Amino acid sequence: MARSGWIFPVIEKTFPRSMRWMGLTKVPILKRLIEYMFFEGDHLIVLPRNEVVEVNRDVDDPGQMALPTELVDQLIDSMEYHFVMDFCLCRISMPCEDYPRDLGCIFMGEAARGINPNWGRSVSKEEAKEHIHKCQEAGLIHAVGKSKLDTVWLGIGPGEKLLTICNCCPCCCITRVIPHTHEVFQEKLVRAPGVEVMVNQEECVGCGTCVSKACILEAISLVDGKAVINQANCRGCGRCAEACPTNAITLTIDGSLFVQESVRQIGAVVSFESEQAAASG
């Protein structure tokens, strides 16, 4: 049964303190309880914006090329029902001052049919893709996959019949709590297959912009006056590459891995509704 509006006052009061709440996941008994209630079975892949991608490919094989929106388009095509939220829960809860609050998540699949119709609208595949384009233009990045938390606050299910596309800003997104959680929760948000983020040490001037203004996962530090990326913590969102004033940070995608492996990972936790999508994974 879909949620009614009573849920919003609760979320708006608790969400700004989410870092404090999620810090409780480091307490063993609370870790198990929180995971069971809100995060069990989650798998979300972070996708950078097209603009920051340099595609690694063999010039003799254009088929090796891939961009993040190509994966998103394929995921949209893999589902028959699409629902666009009229708001971003994270951005209205903070509230956000820098990014549009009306560019919400896209929820897809049979479970999405149960979402409260007052919270958004059912759209066609082409309308869903246009929404993604608007989110990219606004500077938002995507996290795609399975999120149990969405089934909880939306009051829908089952989780394997809901595919989530979050459109995230760096200041409000729930993913910013990841560094403060138990490692079990950190492993539920992953870098896209084939994505690499590297620092050119010769070009880096040690200004610290990537550390202080870009990375929300605390994956970058300054060592001897140069930016160093902790690859284990980096999720490949590409915000550091966008922010770097000397273009010392580059993000590349190996197209031979990116789409096929991403589809395979998501297909392991969410039921695709298109035979074509399942075959591509």
Output the tens digit of pLDDT for each of the chain's 281 residues: 566 667 777 887 888 888 788 889 999 999 999 999 999 999 999 999 998 887 654 444 555 557 899 999 999 999 999 999 999 999 999 999 999 999 999 999 999 999 999 999 999 999 999 999 999 999 999 999 999 999 999 999 999 999 999 999 999 999 999 999 999 999 999 999 999 999 999 999 999 999 999 999 999 999 999 999 999 999 999 999 999 999 999 999 988 789 999 999 999 999 998 755 544 55
Do the Cβ atoms of 263 and 194 come closer than 8 Å?
no
Do the Cβ atoms of 198 and 244 come closer than 8 Å?
no
Question: In 3-state terms, what secondary structure has residue 272?
Answer: coil
- Report if residue 94 sits inside a domain: yes
Helix (H) or strand (E) holding 250: strand 249-254
- Report if residue 164 sits inside a domain: yes
Do the Cβ atoms of 159 and 191 come closer than 8 Å?
no
The amino acid at 43: H
Rounded to 10 deg, the angle between the 68-77 and 125-137 helix axes is 150
Domain count along the chain: 1
Strands (E), 48-148: 53-56, 82-85, 106-108, 120-123, 141-146
- Report if residue 239 sits inside a domain: no
- Report if residue 38 sits inside a domain: yes
- Report if residue 70 sits inside a domain: yes
- Report if residue 198 sits inside a domain: no
Do the Cβ atoms of 125 and 80 come closer than 8 Å?
no
- Report if residue 205 sits inside a domain: no
| Domain containing residue 270 | 7-191+259-280
- Report if residue 21 sits inside a domain: yes
State the Cα–Cα distance between residues 140 and 121, nearest whole angstrom: 20
Q: Does the pTM of the predicted model rise above 0.85?
A: yes
